[in-house]
Every structure is written in structure tokens, then in C-alpha cells.
A and B are shown apart, each in its own frame.
Chain A
Amino acid sequence: MKNSKPALLGAAAALLLLGTHAQAQDDKIMIGGAMSLTGVQAPLDTPALKGAEVAVKYLNDNGGLLGKQVELVNIDGKSDPVTVGNVAVELIDKGADLIMAPCDFDFGGPASREAQSAGLVGISTCASDPLYSSWSLGDKQFTLSMWNTTMGAVAADYAFKEKGWKTAYVVTDQFIAYTKSLSKYFVAQFKANGGEIILEDTYTNGDNNFSAQLARLQALGTKPDVIFLSSYGQDIGAIIRALREVGYDAPVMGGDAYDDPAMHEALGEKLGNNVFFVTHTWMGPEAHPDMPKFIDLYTQMHGSAPDTSFVSTGWDTVMMMAEAVKAAGSTDGAAVAKALEDGEFKLLTGDLNYGTAEEGHAPDKAAVMIELKGGKPTFVGWRRPESVPAP
């Protein structure tokens, strides 16, 4: 918060400048990206930006938007909340009409706050913590991702209702808001369904040492039907290895942090089995009829096929922005926000319907369930929970 005042002043100054500046660029619609190309957020933000670049090219090749060309300008947010905020101010200063905010509340929030104070719509590509809402960020701010309420509920419903797993062992990595709230919502939904949590344990990201947790699990004497492991990054693979090696072969479940081909490959044929996770999409025609077309366009533009499904979040953010701008007939922040609230979007990352600003812009969104078999992901299907825990 220390920096909010100068940042606000900057935004105000930017607004004053905009009057003359934006007119000079009237032939273009500019999307400003504050995505992080370096630092801890790079693994999520870089793919999203690459996907967004494909979408912008696609829009321009097909006549642009409202008869204008679309321009995507990204400045590296460097995985630093203060830098992200400053970058957003700079982008607004340059005449951005829409803001694409980094994935995750901690890093994307500052960009959305700047967008809000400049009266622009800001959309995060994959922030899934319910903190990313119009309640905390303002009535023109959205996240493309489902919230963790949905992610946790889909996992819990799949485990209890579809698979009949009655007892769960839950491990929560204390790394960030994402890892903590995902477990919370899984536990809430699993209990509401009638399941029993036999043990909840804590893990510290970066330890790569799961032995104490294993000792506690072994001391229980009973084996859980399902293991819900909310962790982040490389630790997921390390923990699954540790569990499997000592003979815990119960199904392991988790969220979109599992959507990492390197982890799947590292687990391999022997250990990469019976792992289920809820994520944004599946890179195949089963997920969406347009998926092969997107993969083709992506491969043409970037020279190699996408190495993660997170590229779809960037494409979807831009395409959804375009749809909303078309519906609104302008890039005016309030009008675009209204169009986003009113619309129902059929995206590569699932059907999406936002709540009103009073409802926090809660995304009512479908999620994909994926199962790892022999180290290879397989598409289980789309799931849209009937009810989700309160955020």
C-alpha cells in the first residue's frame, strides 16, 4: 500500500494525458499487458502472453475489431507487484484501452487496480483465488479463470460422487493464497458431500522433503481413499514421488498447478498413474471444436506446438475482450464491463458466465478433469459443479 499514492497520482496524470494521446491512436485498439516474462510468475504468464499474441494476429487477419486494428503491447511485470502496477500506469499512459493482468491475485491485482482507477476493464488470465473479484478490485475487473471455489468443488464432487472415495488425506502447501484456499474449498465441499477428512497436514514449499508428513500418515494406520495435495511448482512431483515410493498408491488429486507436462514426464510410466487434477482446458478437440485451429495458429506463429494448456488462457482473454467490445460497440470501460457481465462465453477454457459486480464477478465456469495414466494425461471431461462453497 506504500506505493498506492504515487501510483494513483500517476494514473491521474495518465488520465489527463489520455485526452490528447488516445485520440492520436484512434485507428487502433490497444490491449496493454503487464505479464511477467521473468521471475516466479514467468511459467504462467509467458504462455498466456504467447496465446494472446496468436489471438491478436487472428483478430487482425480477420478484419480487426470495430473496424480497427488490435495492438498488444506487453511490458515485463517482472513478477513484482510494484513493477506490475507501474507497468500498468505506463500502459494506460500509452493509450491502452484494455488491460491484461498477470495470473494470480498478488501479482495481477496491482494492474487491475490501476485499470480500475483509469476506468478501464482489466482481466487476469488465470488468477483463481476468489480475492480476484469486483469486491476487492472494482466493478470493471474480472478474472478469466474459475475461482478456487469451483476448482475445489469439482475435485471434491468427482472424488465423492463419481468415484465413491469416502476418506481423504489433505496436504496444504503454505506457499501462496492459491495453495491455501484450494485445500479449504476442497475440504468444505468434501465434508458437505458427506466425506471424512482423516488427516490434514502442512508442507513448506521448496523443502522437497516429505518424510515427516509421511511418518504422520503412516502412524494413522489406515490408508485414505484419496489424497488431495494442494501444492505448487516442482514440489508436486517431488511429493507424489515420495508418496508412491513408500507404497501409497491411492489416487492423488489437485488443481491447475498440476497442469505441467514436465512433471508428468518426470513421474513417468511407473509413478505417473492414478493422479487426477482440475484445470482450465485440454489441448485436444474433445475440449472445444476450435482447439485444433488454435493449436495450428499457435504453431505457425511460434514455430512449435504449445508446451502447456495455459496458452489457451491468453487466447481466451483476448477473444473474450473482443467479443465484449463488439457487444458494447466501444472500448468504454463501463460498457465493456456491462457486456462481460451480460454475456455467456463459449471459450477454449470452458463456458463462462460472470456474476454482477455486486456478486463479485464470480465466474460460473466449467472445469476440465484430467487423469494421468502411465505419465500421460488423458481427458476425463468437463465438469460444472451444481453448487460451490461460499468464498
Chain B
Amino acid sequence: MTFAVQFLIDVLSLGGAYALMALGLVIVYGILRLVNFAYGELIMVAGYTMFLMNGSGAPWLIMALVAVAMAVAAGIATDYVAFRPVRAKSVTAVLITSFAFSTLLQNAALLFISPRPRPVPLPEIFSQTVTILGAVTPLRNLITIAAAVILLALFAWMMRSTVLGIAMRAAATNFTMARMLGVPANLIISSAFAISGFLGGVVGILWIGRIGTVVPGIGLEPLLVAFIATVIGGMRSMQGAVIGGFLLALIDTTLNYTLPQDLLKFRDAFTFSLVILILLWRPDGLIKGPASGQRT
């Protein structure tokens, strides 16, 4: 029983973080059909904001809010710097500009802050534990689960019930048609980047809460996770991204628990083999997105 509870909490907390990461990536992809490779740097921006505000005397919650706000600003900046100027012209160009923006941000941190890790302030609650049915678990795992549930619910409500959400779904289904019906393209795309930045910022704080320090390359792992999760779940579907995130966490955690020591070294090989099997079975991912929709 204890073991089952432990396992469940591990999967849900890791999966919650993965799902939020994947959602932040897929919301931009859904509309633009372009992967934002500077997505990991949103997490980096949130982390360094926390580091720079360390010692400012502000309460932790304020620092966290500012960090998320900075990630949102960085998300919008990605649109203005890397996407908008070349979006209509060439897919290849956007691919390169988003890589370039990612490199630029990373090297700015390297140059102006330090290549060495920097500590990030964490509240006391992030290192406390609770005992649930005999399983000792860090409170931050429960915070991650709660944050994921709340944000996913909020997100689902927004996509269903607000004008912005409906417009974004319309743009994701058929961008040209949506524009003809009066959906302002730039506003929708900027909003998508802002939401992506918001999710990146929140995930950044939860992710860095496990680690305690920030480095220029911190965004690489989350970007990879988000990318794989969206590929499993279906590149065009937001539910797919969430399911992909939880599924990836389930695969990773199960392998971590069950593989014998000699094979555990090759865990990633097993994970990706399973991903390949899933893709052979469902080449478009688990959930198919809207049928139509060319890139604009």
C-alpha cells in the first residue's frame, strides 16, 4: 500500500510537471506549426529572475510572481524577435531564428551572470515532507500535482469558454479561415506565446524547486521532455500533450522502479524504444488534432 501510494505520487508529480511543459510547447505549435526551440530558455529566465531577486528582501511569493511575469515577457519577446519578422517567409528561417534566440539568451546568462550554477531562493515549504498512508513524500511533489491540476483546469476552461480561447482554437484548426472571419492573427499568436511563457515560468519554479540552483543550460532537459511528450500525445492536440506528459512520466518512473541495475544504465534507451513503439502504432500520436490546417 505504502509502495503504491509512493509510486502514484511520483508519477503524478513528475507527470504534472511534464504535462505543463508539453502544454506550453504545443500551444504555440498548434497555431504556428512551428516548434519554439527557445522554450527551455523561458525556464532559465524564471530561474535567473529568482536568483537576481535573491536578497532583495521581497517575500518569496512576490519573487515567484515576478519570475513568472519575466517568463511571460520572454515568451512575448520570442515572438517579436524570432518569429514575427520571418514567420510568413520561411519555415527554415523560423527554425533557425528560434535556435538563435535560444543561444543568445543562454550566452547572455553565461556572459553576464556566470557559467557556474547560481542558487535560487526556495521557501521552507519546498523542503518539508508529509506522511501519506506510510509514504514519506516531499510536500513540493503535492504542490506540483496541485499546480498542474489547477492550471490544467483553468486552461481547459479558458480554451472552451473565453473569446480568446475560442479564437485560439479556431486559429489552430484553420488559421486562414479564422483570419478571414476577423480573428486578429498577431494578437492570437502573441497570446499563445504569453501563455507559453506563463506555463514555462510556473514549470520553471516547480522544476528548479527540485534542484535549488540555476545554470544557463537548465532549459535543455525540459525542452526535450516537452518535445517527446507532445510527439507521443500528438503534436497538434492539447489534450494529447497533457496525456503524453503523464505517459512519459509513467514510463520513466516504472522503468526506474522495475529495471534491474545492469539495465537501468540504459533506461533512456528503453524509454525511447517504447516511444518508437507507440509511434509505430499511432504515427500521429495518441490523439489526433484538428484535421485541417496548413501552416500560415
Contact = CB atoms under 8 A, between A and B. Distances in A.
Interface of A: 37-38, 40, 42-43, 46-47, 174, 200-202, 204, 206-209, 211-213, 215, 233-235, 237-238, 241-242, 245-247, 260, 262-263, 265-267, 270-271, 307-308
Contacts of A211: 6, 10, 253, 256
B127 A271 contact: yes
B265 A174 contact: yes
B174 interface: no
Contacts of A200: 261
B18 to A, nearest CB: 11
B165 interface: no
Contact of A266 (B128, B138, B213, B268): B213
A238 B117 contact: no
Contacts of B3: 215
B6 A215 contact: yes
Contacts of B127: 241, 245, 270-271
Nearest to A174: B265
B211 A238 contact: yes
A242 B117 contact: no
Nearest to B140: A245
B104 to A, nearest CB: 12
Contacts of B153: none
Q: Which of A237, A262, A271 has the most CB of B within 10 A?
A: A262
Given A209-B253, A263-B212, 15 more contacts: A38-B115, A204-B267, A206-B221, A209-B252, A212-B253, A233-B117, A233-B215, A237-B211, A237-B212, A238-B211, A241-B212, A246-B136, A246-B137, A266-B117, A266-B122
A209 B217 contact: no
User: Which size bracket describes the interface of B in this complex?
Assistant: 35 or more
B21 interface: no
A364 B145 CA distance: 51
A246 B128 CA distance: 9
B114 to A, nearest CB: 7
Interface in B93-125: 107, 110, 114-120, 122
B267 A308 contact: no
A209 B213 contact: no
Which 4 A-B pairs have CB atoms at the shortest separation, nearest pair first?
Answer: A266-B212, A212-B256, A42-B115, A262-B117
A37 B119 CA distance: 21
B116 A238 contact: no
A308 B116 contact: yes
B129 A245 contact: yes
Interface of B: 3, 6-7, 10, 14, 107, 110, 114-120, 122, 127-129, 136-138, 207, 210-213, 215, 217-218, 221, 252-253, 256-257, 261, 264-265, 267-268
B257 A43 contact: no
Contacts of A46: 115-116
Nearest to A215: B6
Nearest to B131: A246
B138 A234 contact: no
A266 B129 contact: no
A272 to B, nearest CB: 10
A290 B273 CA distance: 55
A238 B110 CA distance: 22
A260 B118 CA distance: 9
A208 B14 CA distance: 10
Nearest to A307: B116
A246 B129 contact: yes
B138 A242 contact: yes
Contacts of A209: 10, 14, 210, 252-253, 256
B210 A42 contact: no
Contact of A47 (B7, B116, B215): B116
Contact of A202 (B114, B120, B261): B261
B211 A208 contact: yes
Contacts of A215: 3, 6-7, 257
B164 to A, nearest CB: 34
Contacts of B137: 246
A234 B117 contact: yes
Nearest to B107: A38
Given A212-B10, A270-B127, A234 B215 contact: yes
Q: Which of B3, B138, B211, B268 has the most CB of A within 10 A?
A: B211
Nearest to B121: A266
